[in-house]
Amino acid sequence: MIKIGMKRLAKNPNAARTLPPLPFEQDGLDTARKVVRSWAGYAPTPLCSLSDLAAELDVGAIYFKDESPRFGLGSFKPLGGAFAVSRALSRALTEETGNEDPDLFSDKARAFAAKMTITAATDGNHGRSVAWGARMYGCRCVIYVCASVSQKRRDAIAAYGAEIREVDGSFDDAVRKAGETAASEGWHVIPDTSDGETVVAPRDVTQGYMLVVDEALEQLKGERPITHIFLQAGVGGMASASAARFWQAYGENRPVTVIVEPDQCACWYESLLAGEPVAVTGETDSAMAGLACGEVSLIAWDVLKTGADHMVTLGDEVVEPMMRYLAQKGGDARPVIAGETGISGLAGLVATASNPDARKALGLGPDSRIFVINSEGDTDPEAYCRIVGKSAEEVLSQ
């Protein structure tokens, strides 16, 4: 049986059941469906049942939405970054031509896109998504990274034609640098976080992420409702999008929503307790690299300030045993490849379900039906092989 511990658990004092006005375009989800489903290679990602783990934890069911096959990029991120690139190009073309629904793959659009520069900051997967989207539509792309981003992740971004620029400091410093450069150079910045000033592109990113749960709701038709969701949060884009889509579908009967973070950069834990966004400073690097963020996105805040029920923090020591467990056990129908960030929501479930006090606080029991997202696969293949002892290809061939 897998055994890992948590660091801290708290209840959000401002949690509510009434759906607030969501910070998205009214027709944004329909637009995201139309655009993303039109891309070559689109297919809904698998929804795996982890019945062995559910039995170990004495819960009713665990549904694990596996984003590792998404468009061959290894994570859910294309739904956000690449979608936001399409929206930036579409709006620019509409402003230029007056056409409200331009064909982004026309010769005229590609000639226009070739004059655009798209930029973003990343700790790995978002930059890869933005670069992939920029290449798909024919835009120039510049991606900012901090020093902690591995060379393999940089190479994966550069493979899509992006220029990589390193920034001193943290991920949050890279975000600021990308925004400042875009403003001075006339570039289009695609952040996956919002400081309240840059709103449109991060709103598009978050809107696109809603498709993860949108697909899952279709896959769950005929099943009993989900009772709990465990969502890993860095700046909060995926977590807020997922919580919002379940909230739309379930209304006041929405699932108990648990936010999972590394303990050293738990900006959501601190912010939700304080009732306002709080920046976490100091050493924020984490083995869960996609969550190594010290500041919440204000777009995500609009959802999670009342849409999150509990917050749990984890130490980096949970990463390797969880990755090995999934490589060995997988889901009921297939092996599961999960990276360092990808396992964190599930790790939050394991840590709390194994703790009697936490289990009681969250209402976990034999009737619980839990939804978790595997947000990435082996996005750093060398690290994955070192941790698991096998490559992803070897695990999948088992």
Structural domains of the chain, with CATH: 8-76+202-396 (3.40.50.1100), 81-191 (3.40.50.1100)
Please check the confidence at residue 307 and state whether its pLDDT lies above 80. Answer: yes
Residues 15 and 256: beta-carbon distance below 8 Å = no
Sheet of strand 256-262, all strands in order from the earlier edge strand to the far edge: 8-11, 310-314, 256-262, 228-232, 369-374, 61-66, 47-49
pLDDT band for position 123 (cuts 50, 70, 90): confident
Given the residues 77, 204, 305, 309, the one annotated as active site:
77
Asked if pLDDT for residue 334 goes beyond 90, the answer is no
Q: Which residue matches tokens 């709390």?
A: 352
- 3-state class of 335 per DSSP? coil
Give residue-wise pLDDT tens across range 319-333: 999 999 999 988 887
- For the question of residue 58 being annotated catalytic, the response is no
Q: Out of 27, 58, 66, 123, which one is annotated catalytic?
A: 123
Tens digit of each residue's pLDDT (9 = 90 or more) over 18-60: 999 999 988 999 999 999 999 999 999 999 999 999 999 999 9
What pLDDT shows up at residue 332?
A: 82
Q: Which of 31, 371, 70 is nearest to 203 (CA)?
A: 31
Evaluated on CA atoms 308, 312, 316, 320, the torsion sign reads negative
**Quick one: how far is CA 43 from the chain centroid?**
18
Q: Please, what is the average pLDDT of the chain?
A: 94
Q: Is 77 a catalytic residue?
A: yes
Residue ranges in the chain assigned as alpha helix (H):
28-37, 51-57, 81-97, 107-113, 125-137, 151-158, 171-185, 200-219, 237-250, 267-274, 298-307, 319-329, 344-353, 356-362, 381-388, 392-396
* Whether pLDDT at 195 is above 90: no
